[in-house]
Structure 1
Amino acid sequence: MLTPPESPGLPLLSVSLPDPGDGTGPLAVDPKKFRDELVVAADWVADYLSRIRQRPVAQPVPLEHRRALAEGGMPQEGQDLGALLEFVGQAVAPYPTGNGHPAFFAWINSPPSPAGVIAELLATAVNATCGMGEHALMDLERGVVRDLAALAGMAPATGGVLTSGGSMANLLCLGAARTWFLRGHEATDGPAYDQAHARLTAYHSDQAHMSVAKAAATIGLPPWRLRAVPTTAERRMDVEALKAMIDADLASGLLPFCVVSNLGSTASGAVDPIEAITQVCRSRGMWHHADGAWGGLGAMVPELAPLYRGVADLDSLTVDPHKTLSVPVGCGAALVTDPDRLREAFTYRASYLDGDQDWPWMSDYTIELTRPGTRALTLWATLHQLGRAGVSSLLQHYQDLARYLSRRVQAHPALELCSDGPLPVVCFRLAAGTALDRPEARADLHTAVAARVQARGHAYLATVCHDGETVLRACFCNYLTTADDVDTLLEEVRAAAQHLSTA
């Protein structure tokens, strides 16, 4: 043992510390007690997921309960582990958003895959920081990113990083696009940067997800330099309008640097013309990023594959495995054809952090330094539970359910189909003769119908703006959903409309 040298005038302090191996301390738990609580928790999880159909789809949180939760309140003395499960069972679990229920059709939220649930627990126990250092889960992340890119149909060299979701992935890809563009113009710092950055413009369709505007704002792009490109009757980006907008900006001295296309719009499931947009970008020295948070893997579905020609030529793509693949929430992906472009945008060095340049730390590809290993393991587990055939079958299942709902709506005398896809989303409305003749009255009725359906708890759908009118919208991304759940939804819509029209 090393003995510290004595310092003149500074007596050595004698400090009594507990033996670190004696199992004491505020977080220590008897191993048997810990194992018993894990078994009880596992039983609770299995029971919760198996009984999901028997509970209401969603249940509002009472105002007093919300206030109590939001106020906090930490006890003076610590509690037994058993109190945790009791708290979740009484204060959290009874108030689901609804996305785990097979009759939930409102938003693109999925239930967790069985493999993902188990992997989440295992990864939490391993507790890796997948941003720095050397850990097997970082290498596993590289592998699952390549697997995702292959499923999407991207170029073999594609790499990237897992993220918290599509919002973060869109931000990273726009940040990489900006750095790439400014490097090409030798304007990465100083006055040259200031002058060039003040003229950057980006483009997206008028059907883009709001996260694109958030990402643009975060990288310093003001709203007036983010262009919303009109869409066609099929809600696909109008390429001729895009060309005209870019050329007008070039003529006025601005610097168009990126186009964001949709591979599955949230409102209607539209897919923008990939090849035509890429051609525009190449001819004008721009980056083409595709937001495929929902529909990025659509090439795996034979009927959708023609819409995805040209994916391999994208510069970057956002995909959310926690949507269509049912990986537990918190797993998105930023896929970049040349992953070095992510590193150029986000690598920073410090004397206390010096990564291996042959095996770069994953923090080099993102703004996060501390990153959970749960993303990589839950994605790996889900992909291996499914296999490529399972991914294709799962996505086809959603297409089949959407087609079934479309046929039911078209055959229903009190309903009218507004749009259906091509991705699995169906927008419909009450027929004019059954929903009052004034458009504004019908829009109000649609809002009221959705609210009543949600409140009854047997099914859940949302509304959306379609050609200036509020209509009903149902999307499919739950592997538990069946045709019976679709029938339940339509019966709930019919009953709600009848109740409201006679009230």
Structure 2
Amino acid sequence: MHDQDPSTFGEFGEFDPSPEPPAAHAKVLRDELVAAAEWAARYLSELPQGPVARPLPAQLRSRLRAGQLPQRGGELGEVLDFVRDEIAPYPTGNGHPAFFAWVNSPPAPAGIVADLLACAVNATCGMGENALMDLERGTVRMLADLAGLPDSAGGVLTSGGSMANLLALATARTWFLTRRGSADGPAYDRDHARLTLYYSAQAHMSVAKAAACVGLPAHRLRPVATDPHDRLDPAALRAAVTADLDAGLLPFCTVTTLGTTATGAVDPLEPVTDLCRSAGMWHHADGAWGGLGASVPALAPHYAGVGGVDSLTVDPHKTLSVPVGCGALLVPDPEHLHTAFAHQASYLTAGEPDALPWLSHATIELTRPGTRALALWATLHHLGRDGVTGLIEHYLALAAELRERITAEPRLQLLSGGPWPVACFRITDPYGNAPDALHTRVARRVQDNGRAYLATVAVHGRTVLRAALCNYRTTTDDLDLLIREVLHAAER
């Protein structure tokens, strides 16, 4: 256990090192917080010099999984020791600047500080009235403004894009059935059994998972074909909707993707919105990765019409490096969320008659952490509007650099992608044997070597290497390292 200094009393009065848990003497708590803060700062500073990831020893894995609670409680100082020795050395790797595998960002310093402070305040952002709940309303407005939604927009913070997509589909279903007069009773059973959902064939898997959670079986889901640039094809969408209407089904929602996971494509918004309006459908845009593109001049042309969507997912823990998990569902008309999720109980009564609806009325969660709102606000406050744009532009510049390096290397082949910062590429195999298996093996070897980390993805039926740029600490040196590691792994 790290050292304690029980000799300092100061403002904390008489020292009693061991009050009954879960309490702790104020000085002990202060010392542990200081020690934790010093360790965290040192850990983040030294992170780039270590391996991206390392395998978890089998013995430690078994011990962590065993979950054996001792009879007597331990000391507060053992928490830091445990994290330092048994948790921190075995991360996912997304804090390292040479991590390129998925859209998982490192934590922004402002978010780290805010997370700690919000835990101390420990207010719930679901019920009652407190400052963090109003702060959440304000930060949601900031996101909506950055995303290009109208001034009326609001929404709610979530654990991430998967939860936001689930809320969006549930809201769309309620909106659609309410307009048909079939929100309950036998009419609900009749109409719900005919609902059909449409989304790009490149959509994130959380869309289909959310559909299953709201009771849509797989045979009423419609993955829509994409064009050569991996964007949803509006003509294919119109054909699918028309065919289902002719068959007596009820098309109720289309999901577009702003920044596909595989290639960073952005689906066309305006033609999809036009179709949804003419067919009486809801248009949800999944912008978990790319939802803030309208704020970046180089990306803005791809976001024409974003203000006309009915709902939008944004993940600040992806694009803005807010600590996980902080997602958001944004809606131009927040009343749609209240219609879908507001429930009453005698033990949950708002104080003032003219008070705003509690945020629990806009989601399925009642108890909600204030860490999301404060970490998001702190990160946005630290960045400012220019900083948000500059951060995304940094990723775009790195992606352009990486694509140039891949193109210049005869042993690699760049595939089309973008506009979001991702590079998909293949290795030129002189033997031509099992190229998909080759790329899987190369990715695994790069990961095992620990100096860089990337993953594979299927693009147009082929397994390729994929590098996503979403780490504010990544430099061009890390790009060169990645290329060297891939080529070295391929040579082996």
TM interval, short-chain normalised: over 0.9
170, 175, 198: which one pairs with 1:175? 170
Q: In structure 1, how many angstroms separate the alpha carbons of the residues matched to 2:167 and 2:461?
A: 33
367, 385, 389: which one pairs with 2:364? 367
For residue 438 of structure 2, what is the aligned residue in structure 1?
Answer: 445
Give 1:295's aligned amino acid.
Answer: G
**1:424-450 deviation line (CA, Å, top 9, x unaligned):** 0000011243xx224xx1111111110
For residue 295 of structure 2, what is the aligned residue in structure 1?
Answer: 300
The alignment partner of 1:360 has SS state of coil
For residue 152 of structure 1, what is the aligned residue in structure 2?
Answer: 147
93, 98, 105: which one pairs with 2:100? 105
Residue 401 (1) aligns with residue 394 (2) = no
Query: Is contact 2:196-2:252 (8 Å) kept?
Result: yes
Q: CA deviation at 1:419?
A: 2.2
More deviation in 258-267 or 63-72? 63-72
For residue 119 of structure 1, what is the aligned residue in structure 2?
Answer: 114
Residue 165 (1) aligns with residue 160 (2) = yes
Structure 1 residues without counterparts, runs of 5 or longer: 1-22
For residue 331 of structure 2, what is the aligned residue in structure 1?
Answer: 336
**1:310-330 deviation line (CA, Å, top 9, x unaligned):** 010010000000001000001
476, 481, 487: which one pairs with 1:494? 487
For residue 59 of structure 2, what is the aligned residue in structure 1?
Answer: 64
316, 323, 328: which one pairs with 1:321? 316
Query: Is contact 2:194-2:249 (8 Å) kept?
Result: yes
Q: In structure 1, how many angstroms separate the alpha carbons of the residues matched to 2:429 and 2:19?
A: 71
Residue 422 (1) aligns with residue 415 (2) = no
For residue 15 of structure 2, what is the aligned residue in structure 1?
Answer: none
Q: CA deviation at 1:180?
A: 0.4
Q: In structure 2, how many angstroms separate the alpha carbons of the residues matched to 1:30 and 1:65?
A: 32
Query: Is contact 2:101-2:453 (8 Å) kept?
Result: yes
Query: Is contact 1:406-1:420 (8 Å) kept?
Result: no
What's the C-alpha RMSD, in Å, of the aligned pairs?
A: 1.0
Q: In structure 2, how many angstroms separate the alpha carbons of the residues matched to 1:384 and 1:50?
A: 22
Query: Is contact 1:402-1:420 (8 Å) kept?
Result: no
Give 1:56's aligned amino acid.
Answer: P
Q: In structure 2, how many angstroms separate the alpha carbons of the residues matched to 1:81 and 1:214?
A: 40
Query: Is contact 2:196-2:221 (8 Å) kept?
Result: yes
Q: CA deviation at 1:24?
A: 4.8
Q: In structure 1, how many angstroms separate the alpha carbons of the residues matched to 2:176 and 2:445?
A: 50
More deviation in 209-218 or 412-421? 412-421
398, 406, 410: which one pairs with 2:407? 410
Q: In structure 1, how many angstroms separate the alpha carbons of the residues matched to 2:464 and 2:364?
A: 39
For residue 17 of structure 1, what is the aligned residue in structure 2?
Answer: none
**1:7-53 deviation line (CA, Å, top 9, x unaligned):** xxxxxxxxxxxxxxxx9532221111111111111100000111111
The alignment partner of 2:416 has SS state of strand
Q: In structure 2, how many angstroms separate the alpha carbons of the residues matched to 1:241 and 1:265?
A: 18
371, 384, 387: which one pairs with 2:384? 387
**1:380-419 deviation line (CA, Å, top 9, x unaligned):** 0000000000000000000000000101111101000012
Query: Is contact 2:229-2:417 (8 Å) kept?
Result: no
More deviation in 56-65 or 377-386? 56-65
Q: In structure 1, how many angstroms separate the alpha carbons of the residues matched to 2:376 and 2:25?
A: 32
For residue 227 of structure 1, what is the aligned residue in structure 2?
Answer: 222
The alignment partner of 2:263 has SS state of coil
Residue 484 (1) aligns with residue 481 (2) = no
Give 2:280's aligned amino acid.
Answer: G
For residue 14 of structure 1, what is the aligned residue in structure 2?
Answer: none
Query: Is contact 1:287-1:315 (8 Å) kept?
Result: yes
Query: Is contact 1:204-1:259 (8 Å) kept?
Result: yes
Q: In structure 2, how many angstroms separate the alpha carbons of the residues matched to 1:101 and 1:298?
A: 25
**1:182-215 deviation line (CA, Å, top 9, x unaligned):** 0100001100110010110110010010000011
For residue 468 of structure 1, what is the aligned residue in structure 2?
Answer: 461
The alignment partner of 1:258 has SS state of strand
TM superposition score normalised by structure 1: 0.93
For residue 6 of structure 1, what is the aligned residue in structure 2?
Answer: none
Residue 218 (1) aligns with residue 216 (2) = no
Query: Is contact 2:265-2:417 (8 Å) kept?
Result: no
Q: Please show how residues 215-294 of structure 1 align to structure 2 within 5 Å.
A: 215-294=210-289
Q: In structure 2, how many angstroms separate the alpha carbons of the residues matched to 1:228 and 1:429?
A: 26
Give 2:402's aligned amino acid.
Answer: L
The alignment partner of 1:420 has SS state of coil
Q: CA deviation at 1:469?
A: 1.0
Name the larger-Rg structure.
1
Q: In structure 1, how many angstroms separate the alpha carbons of the residues matched to 2:19 and 2:98?
A: 48
The alignment partner of 2:22 has SS state of coil
Structure 2 residues without counterparts, runs of 5 or longer: 1-17
Query: Is contact 2:198-2:221 (8 Å) kept?
Result: yes
Q: CA deviation at 1:420?
A: 2.8
Percent sequence identity over matched residues?
63
**1:229-273 deviation line (CA, Å, top 9, x unaligned):** 000100000110100100110011100000000000000001000
Residue 41 (1) aligns with residue 39 (2) = no
201, 218, 221: which one pairs with 2:196? 201
Give 2:390's aligned amino acid.
Answer: S
The alignment partner of 2:451 has SS state of coil
Give 1:383's aligned amino acid.
Answer: L
**1:277-322 deviation line (CA, Å, top 9, x unaligned):** 0011011110000000000011122111100010100100000000
